[in-house]
């Protein structure tokens, strides 16, 4: 017995000691000092097939690190610019039929990581693969509608992509469907990336153009072959700052080394960190991983205790942090076409009844802020219009009196029996409503004289295990001030998918979801560099039925117009016009208040102190910022 135990212990110690050498290499005593081990809480799936199939965050990071040379890129401020390393210039012309053709010149001398040259044909090949019927059959999801001729090409009706032209060895042109113009971000339509065709097809395909449009000559794309490219890890041909050395799904690790043939990013900057390892970071122990040297970098920490620990670690001098505002926010989202939340005064009252500063401070544990509209503090529009917004937006400062005033002004001045409401009675307020306003809201009451009364009772849908919901329940739904105002908010906890079905009123998943049930939801959202809110406030009944306007702000055509005009009514490049509409949109949104913004986090990146000049922000991610970083 003793012998057996001794043998087992000895075996463990032996393994620990012999394997320990390997482990120490990863624990900071590495042979390769000039490297960054990036800890990602999202497991690698190993899908490197562009974003056509999946959108796993770790896969996307690897894809971005090994693929660059997009003609149009976003810079540190989220502005779309021409990538001068790649393009000699982008010109555009509006055609007679309203379509717009972008002609793009490609710089000479660009090569893939294997040394083969990149020409305009490689950019055209990207479009020919992306819009191909074979890719669609292989499960790739690409919308062809923006490019002229792409829908016909994708359907297999023709093998010529008429909207994409190979002009010469270093020039291509792309024509945009007039239905999508004018569009403020239309420059992004001109953007293609190089695609190494031999990796995507066994046939000897070449890109040709006989004057009618680009096409593939020498064979056809095969769905199975396209699908297989997603998992090519050995000798993968790419054109980015890094190249893939290894991707091991067993250990969930991607190893990337500098691409010696990389010409630089949009500012001509080349990476100096020799190796990047993308590894799995476990949420519960990732700070331990960082502290023990198993990883060097963690991004976008928001949890207060984690941020505090990161700051404590920074105080030791062995780590550093970088923080920036989130380009997004968490909010209470209303549905504005039924029940009490259809009335603007009720939405205002809810905003007044919640101490949003206290909420943000508590939820973000000191690492967050409050916004008064659907914007992020890092946006260039916000920075430009900051003073104007500060002067014109209502911040709905916490005030029971203001909430009561709003409710009184909105007609919430009755008791259940139609008698006058007495402030401070502790009862729920009622309002006389028209039959149209009453709709089929289940809590309405009709008096003997036919008067319809609606109670100030709001059904709230919140997802299970959600700390925002828990805090909202305490600070709003069950708050004394809410009761004192004569309001009742009933929390309904459900799964997130259930919540979304109600939110989208998706009757295809069950008749119950098509019924107007919950007036408020708590959710969070992020904005991309292309701030495009089109269709999100549509008043078109058909689009509403398709789930485009989840606020159901059917009584506000102005919000719809502004959100559409902002992108579809402004020519690209006209930043002032865009900004003007954007400010009007934010102001109208703030007045109408289809949502009450709750918090916007401050993100913290924490890294080993050996890393310098790695300055990410919410519009400039690690994959873009790492080329500026050094390891010392």
Partner 1 sequence: MLKYVLKRIGYMIVVFFAVSFLMYCLYNLIPQDQARMELEPIKSTMKPAEYQARYEELRKEMGLDDPIVVRYARWMGLTKDLKGNMKGLLEGYFGYSRYFKQDIVEVVKEPIKNTIFINIFATILALGITIPLGIYCAVHKGGKIDNFTQVLTIVGYSIPTYIIALVFIYVLAVLLRIFPVSGMGTPGANYTGLKFYTDRLYYLCLPLIVMTFGSLGGMTRYVRASMIDALSMDHIKTARAKGVHEKQVIYSHAWRNALLPIIGIVIGWFLGIFSGSVIIENTFGLSGMGSLYIKGLNQHDYELTLAIQMFYTVISLVGALITDLSYGLVDPRVRIDK
| Region 135-164 residues binding partner 1, contact defined as CB under 8 A | 139, 141-143, 145-146
| Minimum CB–partner distance for residue 456 and partner 1 (Å) | 30
| Minimum CB–partner distance for residue 144 and partner 1 (Å) | 9
Nearer to partner 1, 39 or 410 (CB): 39
Tokens coding 484: 């004192």
Q: 13: how many CB neighbours lie within 10 A of its CB?
A: 11
Nearest to 606 by CA among 380, 301, 258: 301
Among 6, 10, 16, 422, binds partner 1 (CB under 8 A): 16
> How many residues sit close enough to partner 1 to count as binding (CB under 8 A)?
73
Strand partners for 243 = 257
Interface with partner 1, residue 251, by CB under 8 A: yes
| Minimum CB–partner distance for residue 316 and partner 1 (Å) | 14
| Minimum CB–partner distance for residue 213 and partner 1 (Å) | 21
Interface with partner 1, residue 53, by CB under 8 A: yes
Cβ-in-10-Å burial (0-12, 13-18, 19+) of 276 comes to buried
Interface with partner 1, residue 6, by CB under 8 A: no
| Minimum CB–partner distance for residue 582 and partner 1 (Å) | 18
Nearer to partner 1, 8 or 390 (CB): 8
Interface with partner 1, residue 490, by CB under 8 A: no
Please report how many Cα atoms fall inside a 13 Å half-sphere around the Cα of residue 507, on the Cβ side.
8
In the region spanning residues 171 to 210, those forming contacts with partner 1, defined by CB under 8 A, are 179-180
Cα–Cα distance, 327 to 575 (Å, whole number): 19
CB-based contacts of 396, cutoff 8 Å, min separation 6: 348, 351, 352, 356, 372, 402, 593, 596
Judged by CB under 8 A, which stretch of 109-117, 351-359, 502-510, 575-583 contacts partner 1?
Answer: 502-510
| Minimum CB–partner distance for residue 205 and partner 1 (Å) | 23
Interface with partner 1, residue 388, by CB under 8 A: no
DSSP string, 202-252: SS--EEEESSS-EEEESS---HHHHHHGGG--TT---BSSEEEEEEETTTT
In the region spanning residues 400 to 439, those forming contacts with partner 1, defined by CB under 8 A, are none
| Minimum CB–partner distance for residue 52 and partner 1 (Å) | 9
Q: 557: how many CB neighbours lie within 10 A of its CB?
A: 12
| Minimum CB–partner distance for residue 465 and partner 1 (Å) | 12
Q: Where is 397: in which H helix or E strand?
A: none
Cα–Cα distance, 85 to 79 (Å, whole number): 17
Nearer to partner 1, 182 or 264 (CB): 182
Contact 131, 154 (CB under 8 A): yes
Nearer to partner 1, 296 or 605 (CB): 296
| 548 to 577: interface string for partner 1, x by CB under 8 A | x-----------------------------
In the region spanning residues 506 to 545, those forming contacts with partner 1, defined by CB under 8 A, are 506, 508-510, 513, 532, 535, 538, 542-543
Interface with partner 1, residue 394, by CB under 8 A: no
Interface with partner 1, residue 232, by CB under 8 A: no
Nearer to partner 1, 380 or 568 (CB): 568
Interface with partner 1, residue 255, by CB under 8 A: yes
Strand partners for 433 = 452
In the region spanning residues 54 to 113, those forming contacts with partner 1, defined by CB under 8 A, are 54-55
| Minimum CB–partner distance for residue 611 and partner 1 (Å) | 16
Q: 80: how many CB neighbours lie within 10 A of its CB?
A: 18
DSSP letter at 477 equals I
Interface with partner 1, residue 10, by CB under 8 A: no
Nearer to partner 1, 188 or 491 (CB): 188
SS3 82: strand
Cα–Cα distance, 75 to 78 (Å, whole number): 5
Interface with partner 1, residue 19, by CB under 8 A: yes
Tokens coding 37: 């081990």
CB-based contacts of 190, cutoff 8 Å, min separation 6: 71, 72, 90, 92, 102, 104, 174
Backbone angles phi, psi at 217, to 5 degrees: -110, 145
> CA geometry: angle at 475 spanning 594 and 360, to 5°?
70
Nearer to partner 1, 443 or 504 (CB): 504
Judged by CB under 8 A, which stretch of 3-11, 62-70, 427-435, 611-619 contacts partner 1?
Answer: 3-11
Nearer to partner 1, 87 or 501 (CB): 501
Q: Where is 549: in which H helix or E strand?
A: none
| Minimum CB–partner distance for residue 169 and partner 1 (Å) | 30
Nearest to 192 by CA among 105, 261, 273: 105
In the region spanning residues 279 to 308, those forming contacts with partner 1, defined by CB under 8 A, are 279-282, 284-285, 288-289, 291-292, 294
Among 122, 498, 565, 588, binds partner 1 (CB under 8 A): 498
């Amino acid at each position: 017995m003793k012998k057996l135990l001794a043998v087992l212990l000895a075996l463990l110690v032996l393994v620990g000691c012999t394997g320990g050498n390997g482990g120490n290499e990863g624990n900071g005593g590495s042979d390769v000092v000039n490297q960054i081990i990036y800890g990602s809480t999202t497991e690698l799936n190993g899908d490197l097939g562009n974003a056509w199939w999946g959108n796993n965050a770790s896969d996307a990071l690897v894809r971005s690190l090994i693929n660059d040379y997009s003609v149009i890129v976003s810079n540190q401020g989220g502005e779309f610019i021409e990538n001068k390393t790649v393009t000699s210039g982008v010109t555009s012309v509006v055609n007679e039929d309203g379509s717009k053709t972008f002609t793009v010149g490609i710089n000479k001398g660009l090569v893939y990581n294997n040394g083969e040259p990149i020409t305009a044909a490689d950019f055209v090949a990207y479009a020919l693969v992306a819009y191909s019927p074979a890719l669609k059959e292989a499960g790739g999801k690409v919308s062809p509608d923006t490019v002229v001729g792409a829908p016909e090409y994708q359907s297999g009706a023709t093998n010529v992509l008429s909207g994409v032209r190979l002009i010469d060895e270093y020039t291509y042109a792309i024509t945009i469907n007039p239905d999508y113009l004018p569009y403020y971000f239309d420059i992004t339509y001109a953007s293609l990336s190089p695609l190494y065709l031999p990796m995507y097809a066994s046939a000897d395909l070449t890109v040709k153009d006989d004057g009618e449009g680009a096409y593939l000559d020498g064979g056809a794309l095969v769905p199975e072959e396209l699908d297989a490219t997603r998992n090519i890890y050995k000798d993968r041909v790419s054109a980015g700052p890094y190249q893939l050395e290894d991707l091991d799904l067993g250990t969930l690790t991607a190893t990337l080394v500098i691409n010696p043939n990389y010409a630089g990013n949009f500012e001509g900057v080349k990476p100096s960190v020799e190796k990047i390892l993308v590894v799995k970071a476990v949420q519960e122990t990732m700070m331990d991983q960082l502290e023990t040297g198993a990883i060097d970098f963690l991004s976008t920490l928001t949890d207060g205790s984690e941020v505090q620990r990161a700051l404590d670690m920074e105080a030791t001098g062995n780590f550093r942090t970088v923080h920036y505002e989130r380009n997004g926010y968490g909010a209470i989202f209303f549905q504005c076409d039924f029940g009490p939340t259809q009335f603007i005064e009720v939405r205002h009252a809810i905003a007044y009844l919640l101490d949003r500063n206290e909420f943000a401070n508590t939820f973000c544990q000191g690492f967050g802020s409050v916004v008064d509209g659907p914007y992020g503090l890092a946006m260039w529009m916000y920075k430009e219009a900051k003073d104007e917004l500060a002067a014109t937006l209502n911040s709905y400062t916490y005030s029971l009196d203001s909430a009561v005033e709003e409710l009184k002004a909105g007609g919430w001045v009755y008791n259940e029996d139609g008698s006058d409401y007495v402030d401070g009675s502790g009862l729920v307020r009622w309002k006389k409503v028209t039959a149209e306003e009453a709709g089929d809201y289940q809590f309405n009451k009709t008096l003997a004289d036919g008067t319809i009364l609606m109670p100030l009772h709001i059904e709230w849908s919140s997802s299970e295990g959600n700390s925002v919901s828990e805090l909202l329940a305490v600070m709003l739904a069950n708050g004394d001030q809410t009761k004192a105002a004569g309001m009742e908010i009933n929390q309904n906890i459900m799964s997130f998918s259930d919540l979304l079905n109600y939110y989208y009123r998706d009757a295809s998943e069950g008749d119950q979801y098509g019924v107007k049930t919950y007036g408020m939801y708590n959710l969070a959202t992020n904005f991309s560099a292309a701030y495009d809110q089109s269709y999100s406030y549509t008043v078109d009944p058909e689009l509403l039925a398709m789930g485009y306007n989840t606020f159901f702000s059917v009584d506000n055509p102005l919000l719809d117009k502004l959100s559409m005009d902002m992108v579809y009514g402004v020519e690209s490049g006209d930043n002032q016009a865009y900004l003007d509409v954007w400010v009007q949109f934010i102001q109208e949104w703030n007045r109408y208040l289809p949502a009450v913004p709750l918090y916007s986090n401050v993100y913290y990146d924490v890294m080993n102190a050996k890393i310098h000049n790695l300055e990410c922000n919410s519009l400039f991610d690690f994959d873009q910022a790492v080329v500026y970083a050094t390891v010392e």
